[in-house]
Amino acid sequence: MGLTKTEIFTEEQNRLAVMLKAIAHPARIAILQEIIKSNTCICGDLVNDLGLAQPTISQHLKELKNAGLIQGTIEGVSVCYCINPPVWNELQDQLSGLFNSFSVKADCC
Amino acid sequence: MGLTKTEIFTEEQNRLAVMLKAIAHPARIAILQEIIKSNTCICGDLVNDLGLAQPTISQHLKELKNAGLIQGTIEGVSVCYCINPPVWNELQDQLSGLFNSFSVKADCC
DNA sequence: ATAGTTAATCGTAATATTGCAATATAAAGT
DNA sequence: ACTTTATATTGCAATATTACGATTAACTAT
């Protein structure tokens, strides 16, 4: 019915899914790459760099912020965004766990 | 308009987004974890293990397969799924690249 | 105060996703 | 051939996502 049955999964699975969903869009990947590249946090520059309208960028930033992956600080008339290390590391750790649990086995299909 | 403007992003950004979207759901995370744990590939067991209906599981498996992350082989009456190492490694490499490009800086907001 | 700049929010249209009942397909056993 | 078992497909309802024009909020500068 359009809504995920979160109650049947573990807290960890749901957390990871939320963080991944935040990253699972080319615009948000591009935004993160931009923020990381210009480690001095940017903001309205994203509207110029990517070819998306201002409300669209603002919405993508909001989703990244809701997932906790970035944080924004008001700086005069503009807003400065940057990576939020704790959650960024949490995502990295969760993914490491997932990838490390797999190794190629011979008895596979 | 509900559809992503893929044409304004790089091929890499779009590829990564597709793979991430495939993983960005608790049910599909759970499926991947199950497949990895029982390295001997399973299938209808997923319907019993997770609390989702058979068509729903089948659909999630299809999405993972479309993204190339898993592969399915018909084995008599049932189907055996397992990780598809090339794409799995591609995802791991792309994510490593993203995470390695970031390091905590002092001059942030 | 007024004007300019920057970003968030609202409202809306188009499309995608999630989940499942019902049905179809396909192989295996009787 | 018929039944059982296992999975895929279809169709549908509920909800979510994507994108943007229009507007609002908030701070700065004149």
Protein residue closest via CA to C1' of D7: B78
Written in H, E and C, the secondary structure of chain B is CCCCCHHHCCHHHHHHHHHHHHHCCHHHHHHHHHHHHCCCCCCCHHHHHCCCCHHHHHHHHHHHHHCCCEEEEEECCEEEEEECHHHHHHHHHHHHHHHHCCCCCCCCC
Q: Does B23 touch chain A (CB under 8 A)?
A: yes
Secondary structure class of A13 (helix, strand, coil): helix
Tokens of A62: 């909001």
Q: Which region among A84-88, A94-98, B73-77 has the lowest average model confidence (pLDDT)?
A: B73-77
Whether B100 and chain A come into contact, CB under 8 Å, resolves to no
What backbone phi and psi angles, to 5 degrees, belong to B7?
-65, -20
Instruction: List, in sequence order, every residue forming a beta bridge with B75; answer none if it has no partner.
Output: B78
Residue of B1, B96, B98, B108 to mutate, interface with A, max A Cβ within 10 Å: B108
User: What CATH number does the domain located at A10-96 have?
Assistant: 1.10.10.10
Chain A positions in Cβ-Cβ contact with residue B5 (cut-off 8 Å): 27, 51-52
**How many Cβ atoms sit within 10 Å of the Cβ of residue A107?**
8
Which chain A residues are Cβ-neighbours of B9 within 8 angstroms? 26-27, 29-30
CATH code for the structural domain at B9-95: 1.10.10.10
The model's confidence at residue B2, banded by pLDDT at 50, 70 and 90, is: low
- Which of B59, B85, B84, B104 has the alpha carbon at shortest distance from A71? B104
Structure tokens at B3: 């559809």
- How far apart CA A26 and CA A56 sit, in angstroms, is 13
Cα–Cα dist B81/B78, whole Å:
10
Question: What are the tens digits of pLDDT across the range B60-86?
Answer: 999 999 999 999 999 999 999 999 999
Q: What is the pLDDT of residues A46-70, one digit of tens each?
A: 999 999 999 999 999 999 999 999 9
* Contact list, A105 vs chain B (CB under 8 Å): 39
How would you label A36-58 residue by residue, b for 16+ Cβ within 10 Å and e otherwise? beebebbbeebeeebebeeeebe
What's the confidence (pLDDT) of residue B49?
Answer: 94
CA distance A79 to A35: 13
Question: How many angstroms separate the CA of A33 from the C1' of D7?
Answer: 41
Contact predicate A9/B13, CB 8 Å:
no
